[in-house]
Structure 1
Amino acid sequence: MATAPRQPDSVVDAGAADDDERGSLVDLSAWLRFSPPWLASALLHMLVVLALGLWLVSGQREEPLVLDAQYAEEVGEQLIEEPLNLDLDPELEVEEQTLSINPLPQVDDPLAAPELSLVAPNPTFSTLSSTADQVGVALTGREPGMKAVLLKAYGGTASTEQAVLDGLRWLERNQRKNGSWSLKGPYTDGGTTENIEAATAMALLAFQGAGYTHQDPPGTEFYGVVSDGWDRLLQSQDDAGNFFRANGFNHALYTQAQCTIALCELYAMTKDEKLREPAQRAVDYCVRTQSPTGGWRYIPREGADTSVTGWVVMALKSAQMAGLDVPSEAFFKVGQFLDSVQRQEGSRYAYQPRDSPKLSMTAEGLLCRQYLGWGRDDDRLRRGVYYLLENLPRWTNGRRDVYYWYYATQVCHHMEGDEWTKWNNVTRQLIPEHQVKRGRERGSWDTKIDQSHGTTGGRLYTTCLSIYILEVYYRHLPIYQQGLLSSF
């Protein structure tokens, strides 16, 4: 029997491989025929995704980095004047931030002004229970964070703040057991006339100007001083809103204005609803006592002078800050009175219509004009301020007038800029320099600081006005906000 020739091993192996390959293809074909449709679809999509991925990877190419240098037409100020040496490890001086020590509550706009009051055709009443119609009279500068910023921005120093603190400590030492203060003592150089309500209001204004209120928590320096003072002062207010209880008739409306300023400020700072009703009563009394000529003097509705009128205008503006009702007609009538005492087209002011202009009355009249709407660039205002700057505070005989300095300081602070710098460079040195530095009266200012009214008002009067001057950096925000605040 013939046998088939033996095939080489390689051929046998190849045939076996062909059989295996055909078996695999048969198996794959059978698997595809009998597998569910969704599995086949998934396999197909997977293959497509893999193909796209390989195509994208293969399509990427490295491009050379090309720098396109552009040159300005003119060479500007160079930020780096010398070559940088990266091997050095320079010591950087970082200014200490003058922000709030404690977090302040978040608000949408911390310097937002309330809407302006509408102008009534016949303005015999307030058309809107608004707060201040300018941000400049807001009291937010007394808050801890803003206070530090404003001190630095407007030229306050460690010396001015220490002088304020020492002055407040003197007032604390001389507060009477019932919470009030006295114009006559127990300190030396007391005033010639007693007026408990006026003395108490002036002291409270000094504490509130630095941000202290009756709501300060235990442990705060001066804790209880403001609350005790207000417990006593509110007992003096009658149902008509009047605070005056002293004998001197020429004190009556001065006292009312000072008490009203202090009460409206406290309400504006704290929004304590228990204060709203007595504050509104005090404001209403001020409005009712306005004279037909538009100002105020010693007796309700009789006569007017620039001195008393200026205090009452500040009281009514404080009421607006607090959101209390103030008739717009009251301010219109004040403007008419100021017209009667102005000189040189409104750049200077007299005490009464028939008098000659005085420095103190000019400063007070210009402050009223600022509050009533004169713009910073008003020529009359600028000429008046220039006149004040020609009469900077000095300690020479006949030139010491803390009453004038108090009002002129506010006017120049609202102007900001060079006007404020020139004035502040003098007062921030002069006022602390003449504060009593040792002894029983340490922290106060004696009556020599005011040669016109120091003896009459006494040491508490001169001390409070001096403190107000040194608190000007944060007591009221500048009306025009040409400097720091315009960038917020």
Structure 2
Amino acid sequence: MSRSKVFYLTGIVVVLLFALAIWVIWRWWLAQQSTTYKQPVEKTQRVRETHQSKTIAAVDSSKIYDNTETPLSATNTQTGKHSKIPTKPMPLEWLMSSQNDDGSWGDNNSTVLSGNRYDKVGATALALLSFSGRGYTHLSEDKIDGKKIGDVVKKAIDWLISNQSGDGSVGSPHSIDFGLNHSIAALALSEVYGITNESQYKDAAQKATTFLQTIQNRDGGWGSEGRELSYPNLQTTGWTIMALKSAQICGLDIGDSFKKAESYVADKLKDHWEPLPAAMYIFVKREKNKDLEDTMDYLIRNPPSQSQQDYLYWYFGSIALFQYDGPDGNYWKKWNKPFKETVMEKLYNDDLHYGSPNNRTEQVVNASLLTLSLEIYYRYDIIFHPKD
């Protein structure tokens, strides 16, 4: 072999190795970004205290989607401290008016939250969850601005199922963070089946759930790329665990996924004082320990505020704290009061922004996360018994 040919082949190898190194660094950076919402805080392991579990309660469709005793709407402004009626629609009303003709939500853009990319599949699934969380189904007769809510829900369900492949996955496997968006779609389909109990939706929900089992990593987590060997991250694992919990509650087969995930979520809870690891741990382990209590302490020291509009943090924080000690618990009250005040103040000052007007996907994702946060209060029963 000539010297020039050796140099040529060596150059190709060097370029390929350099490209591989760049790719590995990029994936590592994305994983680090998706690990936490803020700077991680190291913690030490403590002894567990086991508590008896309670299942997720059925959704009461007669209840409002606010987590207060009175509706979060312009109709009760006369009794509150605000005299100004917000000019912007409530999140669920905005979602109602923002659905695409084909039943989806969002556009060809995507939006990045804490290092993970949400696309049209994720946006549509989150919007559908917002309606399911209030108890609406494809049979609902209620109307908003003359449009029947049941029709909106049915179109969304049909769109998700039409984008489901034979292996159960929803969306394109070539899209960035395909696994993340599929996990949210699986959650939405399980919720639909859970509140309707209709066989026509059972197959789609089970297939989506089974696909999640096939892509679980050996360490128990799930990666955003939607394949077994993709690098696991917290957001994808968090949404997947919620999808599996919903599937388990409505009687679908989830295999031994939770058993495999136990060590992964326990390790993440030890490492980070953040709402997502706490919510994952609660749903998988269903027990309290010192690490979980430390996380709750951290969250109530860092509640929602006017200077912070982080919908993902609000959502998983609300789930974790409400599940931890219930509607009468001190932790939940210390979180919920500033959360309500923050949302109300922004609503009445027309300062609640869902995102760029040029990125409908971003707007839908944020509006849906806010709606889901407001539904936490009655959507789920608590995993633990309330404190005495």
1:26 aligned residue:
none
Q: Are the structure 2 counterparts of residues 303 and 161 from structure 1 closer, same or farther at C-alpha, using a change threshold of 3 Å?
A: farther
1:422 aligns with 2:334: yes
Partner residue, 1:89: none
CA distance in 1, matches of 2:151, 2:223: 34
The letter of the residue matching 1:410 is: I
Is residue 308 from structure 1 mapped to residue 219 from structure 2 by the alignment?
Answer: no
Letter in 2 for 1:458: E
In the alignment, is the contact (CA less than 8 A) between 1:197 and 1:243 conserved in 2? yes
The residue aligned with 1:239 is: 166
Is structure 2 residue 218 aligned with structure 1 residue 292? yes
Q: Which residue of 2 aligns with 1:388?
A: 299
- State the 1:311 CA deviation: 0.6
The corresponding residue for 1:406 is 315
Quick one: structure 1 residues 256 and 194, their matched pair in 2 at CA, closer, same or farther if it must change by over 3 Å? closer
Is the Cα contact below 8 Å between 1:194 and 1:246 reproduced in 2? no
Q: 1:178 and 1:456 mapped to 2: Cα distance?
A: 15
**Does the Cα contact within 8 Å between 1:213 and 1:226 map onto a contact in 2?**
yes
**Percent of aligned positions that are identical:** 25
1 CA distance for matches of 2:74 and 2:213? Answer: 36
Greater relative contact order (CA < 8 Å, ≥ 6 in sequence): 2
Q: Select the residue among 137, 144, 165 that pairs with 2:56.
A: 137
User: Which of 71, 77, 82 lines up with 1:158 in the alignment?
Assistant: 71
Count of matched residue pairs: 313
Q: How large is the Cα RMSD of the aligned pairs?
A: 3.1
Query: How far is the alpha carbon of 1:428 from its aligned partner?
Result: 1.1
Distance 1:246 1:180 in 2: 18
CA distance in 2, matches of 1:205, 1:382: 29
**2:355 pairs with one of 443, 447, 467:** 447
Residue 176 of structure 1: how far off its partner (Å)? 1.0
Report the alpha carbon displacement of residue 459 of structure 1 after superposing the two structures with TM: 1.4
Task: State the Cα distance separating 1:156 from its structure 2 match.
Answer: 4.1
Give the direction of change, closer, same or farther, for the CA distance of 1:337–1:156 in structure 2 (3 Å limit). Answer: same
Aligned equivalent of 1:204 = 128
Structure 1 unmatched ranges of 5 or more: 1-132, 350-358, 449-454
Q: Does 1:364 align with 2:276?
A: yes
* Bigger Rg, structure 1 or 2: 1
TM-score by length of 1: 0.58
Q: Contact conserved, 2:106 with 2:362, CA < 8 A, in 1?
A: no
Q: In structure 2, what is the Cα distance between the partners aligned to 1:165 and 1:477?
A: 28
Kindly indicate whether the alpha-carbon contact (under 8 Å) linking 1:198 and 1:259 is maintained by their aligned counterparts in 2: yes
Specify whether residues 219 and 428 from structure 1 end up closer, same or farther in structure 2 by C-alpha distance, changes over 3 A only: closer
Q: Does 1:473 align with 2:377?
A: yes
Q: Distance in 2 between matches of 1:470 and 1:390?
A: 20
Tell me which amino acid in the other structure corresponds to 1:303: Y
List, as ranges, runs of 4+ consecutive aligned residues in structure 1 with deviation greater than 6 Å.
Answer: 160-165
Task: Give TM-score, length-normalised by structure 2.
Answer: 0.72
1-structure distance, mates of 2:94, 2:339: 21
Aligned partner of 2:200 in structure 1 is 274
The one-letter amino acid of 2:277's match is G
Aligned partner of 1:462: which letter? N
Give 5+ residue unaligned stretches, structure 2. 1-51, 76-85
Contact 1:184 / 1:194 at 8 angstroms: preserved in 2?
Answer: no
